[in-house]
Structure 1
Amino acid sequence: MTGTEASESTPVRLSVTDAVATITIDRPHVRNAVDRTTAMAIEQALDEVDSRDDIRVCVVTGAGGIFSAGMDLKAFNESGERPIGTTRGGFGLVERPSVKPMIAAVEGKALGGGFEIALACDLVVAGSSAQFGLPEVKRGLVASAGGVLRLPQRVSRAVALGILFTGDPISADRAAELGLVNEVVADGAALAGALAWAERIAANAPLALRAVKQIADSSPDWASGESFTRQRPIADAVRASQDAAEGAQAFVQKRVPVWQGR
């Protein structure tokens, strides 16, 4: 296991165990609200995740039983500071998440930017009393860190606009009904649940995982008549890889494949 400890100047912890990285926002004294320093730390952690071949999946969570209250409104009010990274946009990830599968482990409240961070992830595991919401309109703001853009892609337009127009939160169970949450677990078990998902995912071929995410993220922008043509070079590169040959050989030999990411 490797890791970095959070500190006052770098309030984010990164740990890696068995091909799974865990990024923890560690500012519980402000409900894990994100200021610019924190956004930059998240961005740097994701840069490391993407650069390391030994990492296949990334879990994002918050310390102290709360995911994130979103933007640090105190910092915004005092200096106009916004939590925007240099290369990955708001909260250090919403414009350019990791190229690897990302799982949000949500306890407590994921409001505003906290919900937008979760929406930037591929899967969500939530504690039973978790809440999700985009209350920006209640503060004279717009959920511009992916909330208005991503939510209507995940649920029906009417449901998305109901959440966006009212600013009212929804429960974990309701989020699961809407398809926004993959699994609801007991309070306090979200991280363990997310890590269980991550372990199952990390057992699979890393090149294939990245290709699946690339196609799933890119294909909504492809013209329907071009979809298979646009998909082909991505899938063909995986099919021609050493990992594909290893997968077939391991199946024939009835053993666990040993992936090389090549």
Structure 2
Amino acid sequence: MSEEITVSQENGVLIMTIDRPEAKNAMNKAAAEAIAAALDKLDSDDDLRVGILTGAGGTFCSGMDLKGFLRGESPIIEGRGFGGLVQAPPKKPLIAAVEGYALAGGLELMIACDLVVANEDAQFGIPEVKRGLVAAAGGVMMLPDQIPERIAMELALSGEFIGAARAYELGLINRVVSGSALDGAKEMAAKIAANGPLAVCVSKQIVKESRGWSMEERYEKQAQLIGPVFVSEDAREGAAAFAEKRKPNWKGK
């Protein structure tokens, strides 16, 4: 794994830490490649249930490495997008643990995650316009899907930041913590990892995809996805564990 990213795992959770604190964890090509590789591991390893993306040194990610940009380097992976993530999120749940700044490409990495836990002092924004650029890694397209359009427009056109309290109020983040965002994300991940892995992944898929389904086709499309879950070994195990008052032993099949 690249030195730009540190990866560890515990209790079924894969923790990916952008480790470029001297550059405020600005995203470069090596870091993007490492994130893409780590996400492949998350989805392919049956022992892993949830991923967490965070940053070292008190900052989540300050965006694209502009020094690398000036050298002609791109932190975009073909088919995967910025940071190896924004255009191809994992099938399994991914939580962003945000300390400090999630700006520009850093915010775009964050909104590509499924859930967000942030420290109360965190700051969020897409200030690309201040540099004559556009938040092209999903910011101007995806942010209006997650917060009111007029607020997304203000952030995109002004380049100004908002704090954690405002981000929570807008529904941009799930939880605000006074201590470690990573600890808060681990707590959230543990609750997800305790559930049936097939059901979790299909639930995520339906939440993500169903917004594009017409009213007429919603239940039919959902049935196609949940059918295999309801006849799985895990479904029987979940029912048996409930009846026997014990924790389920999930097999992911």
Query: TM-score, length-normalised on structure 1?
Result: 0.95
Give the Cα separation in 1 of the matches to 2:8 and 2:214: 40
Query: Where in structure 2 are the equivalents of 1:1-262 lying within 5 Å?
Result: 7=3, 11-77=4-70, 79-187=71-179, 189-262=180-253
Deviation at residue 149 of structure 1 after TM alignment: 1.5
Q: Which amino acid aligns with 1:20?
A: V
Deviation at 1:142, TM superposition (A): 1.1
Q: Following TM superposition, by how much is the alpha carbon of 1:202 offset from its aligned partner in structure 2, in angstroms?
A: 0.4
Question: Which deviates more, 240-249 or 84-93?
Answer: 84-93
Kindly indicate whether the alpha-carbon contact (under 8 Å) linking 1:40 and 1:86 is maintained by their aligned counterparts in 2: no
CA-CA distance at 1:224 after TM superposition: 1.6
SS in 2 for 1:180: coil
Return the alpha-carbon distance in structure 2 between the equivalents of residues 172 and 161 of structure 1: 18
Over residues 24-65 of structure 1, what are the superposed CA-to-partner deviations in whole Å (9 max), with x where a residue is unaligned?
000001000011111111101111111100001000000011
Structure 1 unaligned spans of 5+: none
Structure 2 runs not aligned, ≥5 long: none
Distance 2:18 2:97 in 1: 11
SS state at 2:52 partner = strand
Give the C-alpha shift of residue 115 in structure 1. 0.4
1:22 aligned counterpart, secondary structure: strand
Q: Secondary structure at the match of 1:15?
A: strand
Aligned with 1:13: secondary structure? Answer: strand
For 1:248, the aligned partner's letter is A
SS in 2 for 1:145: coil
Deviations 1:196-218 (A, max 9, x none): 00001100000001001111111
Q: Deviations over 1:127-181 (max 9, x none)?
A: 1110000001111111111111211001111111111111101000100000011
Is this contact kept in 2: 1:69–1:113, CA < 8 A? Answer: yes
After TM superposition, the runs of 4+ consecutive aligned structure 1 residues lying more than 4 A away are none
Cα distance in 2 for partners of 1:33, 1:157 equals 27
Distance 1:85 1:54 in 2: 26
- What is the CA distance between 1:86 and its match in structure 2? 3.2
